[in-house]
Amino acid sequence: MKKLVLLVGVLLVLFFILTGVTKYSPQILDTVSRKEIGNEKIKIVSEESVVTQVVKDVAPSVVTIAAVPKENSPQNQFNPFDFFGILLPETSDDELFDPSKPQNIGSGFIVTDEGFVVTNRHVISDTTLSYVVITNNGKQYKASKIYRDPLSDIGIVKIDPSENAGNVLKPVVMGDSSKLQVGQLAIAIGTALGEFNNTVTTGVISGLGRGITAGSVFEGTVEELSDVIQTDAAINPGNSGGPLLNSSGQVIGVNTAVSQSGQNIGFALPINTIKDSIKNFNATGQFSRPYLGVAYQMITRDVAIRNELPEGAYIQMVVPDSSADKAGLKRGDIIAKVDGQKLQVGTRELSTLIQKKKVGDTMTLEIYRENEDGSSQNFQKKVILQEAPQQ
């Protein structure tokens, strides 16, 4: 009898427990769900706050680069976006470039409070123009000196801070592009289309170590750029020279080009390249860069296999009196290895390896050459890198 009573008691307890769970579990689950939804909302707000804070911190350091023709220079119609391959609509004589008014052509950012501004070389490449730097608050500074890196799309403009007494120049904080990861947040700021200053776009780092051909083949401004950052943050014409930023507000790249054949594909030069250039510039007062002196086309693995050639850099032209010329390199030679490292498209290209050297360094090149009698030979050449000519 006692066992029966005990069994009934256990069953009643289980019944009440099950009833309670059934009754209150929806509320418990709903509470958890609300908590998760709440956390997600907090996360979204946090991401928005990151972007807005970065813009507040960095926007005062972002500038617009404008151009005006020099006195007695030809005043033809000026297209500031040739590098992007964009054609301006036909205009009447009254709508041609107004020599009395600066024309916004690109972006830049302040790197020292002494008045050094980084931009793209192609933004300030026209020597028939004078340039003006316009700060975030509308103050204008004449470019007193302009320096162009001969081997990369980097330019530095020097302005005089005393030209606007009381206006403080705020330098950016530079990050470390060697630590970038695909998928991390990317923020671009610049003067889109030369008209909308402080335009902000966001995205992610889509790829690293890309090699691209930038410019307009129709205008003859084609340039090979290697080891660049790919991002889906919109980089519009006019954004050239502006900063690409991480979530900490550090500059990780310099916006330089946008793909005309795809959507949401933009490119930026890694900031470490710029830091090295600025360090060298501060020490010497100019861009001192190593220089081999060849124009070349990389041979892909597929092309090499089909034509029974080594993968490497096919020399299309040798600059007279350059390091390559003095070493006896010829048009048609293929540089297969540099210091024992095989050249490969997109990973170990010739320009990338040269950029890691200094003026006066020696490189050992393994060359493949086809002779006039149909035979071929492989040989090594030691080349002493000269300083690239200033532009």
Q: Which residues are catalytic?
A: 122, 153, 240
* CB burial string 216-241: b at 16+ within 10 A, e below: beeeeeeeebbbbbbbbbbbbbbbbb
Whether the CB-CB separation of 331 and 315 falls below 8 Å is answered with yes
The conformational region for residue 115 under phi > 0 = left, psi -120 to 50 = alpha, else beta, is left
Query: Can you spell out the DSSP letters for 106-140?
Result: EEEEE--TTSEEEE-GGGG--TTEEEEEE-TTS-E
**How far apart are alpha carbons 228 and 287 in whole angstroms?**
20
**How far apart are alpha carbons 284 and 281 in whole angstroms?**
5
Return the bridge partners of 192, or none: 196
Q: Give backbone dihedrals phi and psi of 98, rounded to 5 degrees, phi first.
A: -80, 110
Whether the CB-CB separation of 231 and 215 falls below 8 Å is answered with no
Pairing label, strands 266-270, 223-231: antiparallel
**How far apart are alpha carbons 205 and 352 in whole angstroms?**
20
Closest CA to 273 of 121, 112, 171: 121
Cα of first residue to Cα of last residue in the chain, in angstroms, is: 107
**How far apart are alpha carbons 63 and 247 in whole angstroms?**
20
Whether the CB-CB separation of 180 and 208 falls below 8 Å is answered with yes
Query: Can you spell out the DSSP letters for 221-233?
Result: --EEEEEEEEE-S
**How far apart are alpha carbons 174 and 254 in whole angstroms?**
11
Residue with tokens 């900031």: 271
**How far apart are alpha carbons 2 and 182 in whole angstroms?**
71
